Amino acid sequence: MNKKTILSGIQPSGNLCIGNYIGALKHWNKLQNDYESIFLVVDMHAITTNQVPSELRKRCLSFVAQYIACGINPEKNDIIIQSHNSHHAELMWVLSCFTYQGELSRMTQYKSKSKNLKNINTGLFTYPILMAADILLYQADLVPVGSDQKQHLELSRDIAQRFNKHFTHTFKIPEPFIPKNGSRIMSLQNPNNKMSKSDSNSNNIIALLDDPNLIRKKINRAVTDSGNELTFDKKNKPGLSNLITIYKALTSDSIDAIEKRFLGKMYSHFKSELADVIIETLSPIRDEYNMLIKDKDYLMKILAKGSDNGFRKSRNTLSKVYRKVGFLPKLK
């Protein structure tokens, strides 16, 4: 029996953080044994904002090393740099001809990212079509999504259904994969905002590669409240609740158990133990990363394997699409 295909990816901007680990990488690690898994580094998405080319190349390789350090097995799964497979861009163009302007203008991420920009590039507007191409190209059955990506997956499904109806069945209709124990990690200094790896204020995030002393400093500085009772209350204690969420995600303790454990203890005591938990989780990842990033040849071989496997899978999809829309095939 063939395994279902699961696909996910992260844009190589900023620094991978504990929010990415808890919300995505930790789940990828578990899913890779039950699914045929494709993990992307979506560098084409990254250039919707200005990038320093040399830094973008470094981050792409760094993200690959961090994927592996977090437990992704490159022998079992394909790790693919998006720009290494031109089929992403080719399929995007075809799909753009089956996508309506009104659909794109309603995308909430487009609205939020463009509201402070004077000149909005077309790439930012059509970003969701490229995301749809990423998913549909590999005939993904399941796509892990957070609340901020649900709308994009819905658009991918709509485009696929529209294409299938106009021609004949071509694309699988991807389903969202929502982890049972998913957690949305918030900013350490502004707990009403999601923790973002691209945050300009590094005190808002715990990066996967932060050293233990820096982790401890950031947790000690994290916003809580003026009370002294450790209780989970997102409305009235958003900062403290965020820290409890991180503790719960990394230890698998229930919120009730955490509240009982720290009953009558000061916030500083809880923060100290939370820092210990984070350091214990991230130290082996950082150590493994430091070894991997020194071996560029190994990382490039992993990417070559992923690119070759991905190209073979995506070529079948693109050939069907080109035939159905009426493109003249090349002479082999």
Q: Which residues are marked as active site?
A: 113, 194, 197
End-to-end CA distance of the chain: 33
Neighbours of 275 (CB within 10 A): 20
Alpha-carbon distances, residue 223 vs 244, 279, 283 (angstroms): 12, 19, 24
319 C-beta neighbours (distance < 10 Å), count: 13
Give the orientation angle of helix 87-96 with respect to helix 296-325, to 10 degrees.
30
Compute the chain's Rg from CA coordinates: 21
CA–CA separation, 88 and 325 (whole Å): 17
Helix pair angle (53-69, 296-325), 10° resolution = 100
Backbone angles phi, psi at 11, to 5 degrees: -80, 130
What phi and psi, each to the nearest 5 degrees, are found at residue 19? -65, -40
Bridge-based pairing of strands 175-177 and 142-144 is parallel
Which amino acid, 280? E
